[in-house]
Amino acid sequence: MSSKALSRFHQPISVPGRRLLHHVNPGFVRKKVSGGGQRSVNQEIPLIPFIDFLLCIVLFLLASFSASGELPIDKNIKLTNAENVMDMVEAPMVAITGTQILVDGTPAGNTRAIIDGNRLTRVDELFNILKNKRELWKQINPGKPFPGVVVLQVDRKVQALVVKSVFQTAAYAGFPNVSFMVGRMGGGEGGGGEH
């Protein structure tokens, strides 16, 4: 009988010795990888709490997401700020710059005529545009009460006469609930462009 030991697949009893990680070299790496009596260098990152955290952020951002984006402000308007304010509403936007009146970005009159007249003046162009908007809303929403809300974006230096004229024109066009867009006091610069 040969004295040579049989291979592990041919002998019924294996030769004693290291089985796990015996192929890892050199020695100090093997020692590290297998623990070596010290703290393991392999770390599990706790992914589940991380995913929970990400999901919370996603849900919060989705809840505060606005598809309509930031309210457009004419670059020539510097808004004033106020303390006792309400949240914005979705409504036609009338902008009054130093010289122009715009409805949702479309020119709807000039302030020069009002200032020259030095009295309350109905702005016909503005009146017609707002009246058309009102008619359109009624056609789209038959049977519903018309809210009659319009938001005025007014530059802080515009004269009260112009504001009152636009205010009255809007009211006669069927928009008696007039709101002035303002910034929240303490919430930073009023917005819009500089003069």
Partner 1 sequence: MAGIDVGGHGGKRATNHEIPLIPFIDFLLGLVAFLLVTAVWSQRARINADARVPGPPKETPPDEIKKEKQLHVEMKGERKFQLVWKEGTTVVNTIDVPRKQVNVGDSGDFKYPDLAAKIEAEWKANGSHRAATDKKFDQAVLHTDNSTPFQDVIAVIDAIYTPQRDFSFGGGTEKVPAFNVTFAVN
Residues in contact with partner 1 by CB under 8 A are 47-48, 50-51, 54-55, 57-58, 61-62, 64-66, 69-71, 73, 79-89, 118, 120, 151, 154-161, 163-164, 167-168, 170-172, 176-191
CB of 149 to partner 1, least distance (A): 9
Q: Residue 96 carries which side chain, given as an amino acid letter?
A: I
Instruction: Tell the smallest beta-carbon distance from residue 169 to partner 1 (Å).
Output: 10
Residue 96 structure tokens: 């009054």
Residue with tokens 């995913």: 51
Determine how many CB atoms are found less than 10 A away from the CB of residue 24: 13
Query: In the complex with partner 1, which residue's Cβ is closer, 96 or 129?
Result: 96
Residue 31 neighbours by CB distance under 10 Å: 14
DSSP string, 96-124: E-SSEEEETTEEEEEHHHHHHHTS----H
Minimum CB separation of residue 147 from partner 1 in Å reads 13
Q: How far is the CB of 22 from partner 1 (least distance, A)?
A: 26
When the beta carbons of 22 and 156 are compared against partner 1, the nearer one is: 156
